[in-house]
Amino acid sequence: MWMQSPFPTIVMATLYLLFVRVAPGYMKDREPYQMKAFLFVFNTAIVLLNAYLTKEMIEGMFGAGTTGSAHPWRTPITLLR
């Protein structure tokens, strides 16, 4: 969809530039948003998700008999066959 026509890219770039120009004026007389609690929960969730995905990747690599490279994991038993 994005590469069939330059129109979506032009629209997104225009909306971004409009937001960048309008947002500072909108926030000029406002207090900053307090997002510390939300960001703490979000970052904790991201860390836990990455830990889980890393565990799954490691288990999948070694459980499938590979080391992550293109060559299979060779044990002494398979070398004797």
Each residue's pLDDT tens digit, 37-65: 999 999 999 999 999 999 988 887 777 65
pLDDT confidence bin for 67, thresholds 50/70/90: low
Write down the pLDDT at residue 18.
Answer: 95
Q: What is d(CA 80, CA 72) in angstroms, rounded to the nearest whole number? A: 15
Tokens of 52: 């889980």
Give pTM, 2 decimals: 0.52
The answer to whether residues 58 and 67 touch, using CB atoms and an 8 Å cutoff, is no
Is the pLDDT assigned to residue 32 strictly greater than 70?
A: yes
Write down the pLDDT at residue 13.
Answer: 95
| CB neighbour list of residue 1: distance below 8 Å, 6 or more residues apart | 8
Q: What is d(CA 61, CA 42) in angstroms, rounded to the nearest whole number? A: 28
Is the pLDDT assigned to residue 1 strictly greater than 80?
A: no
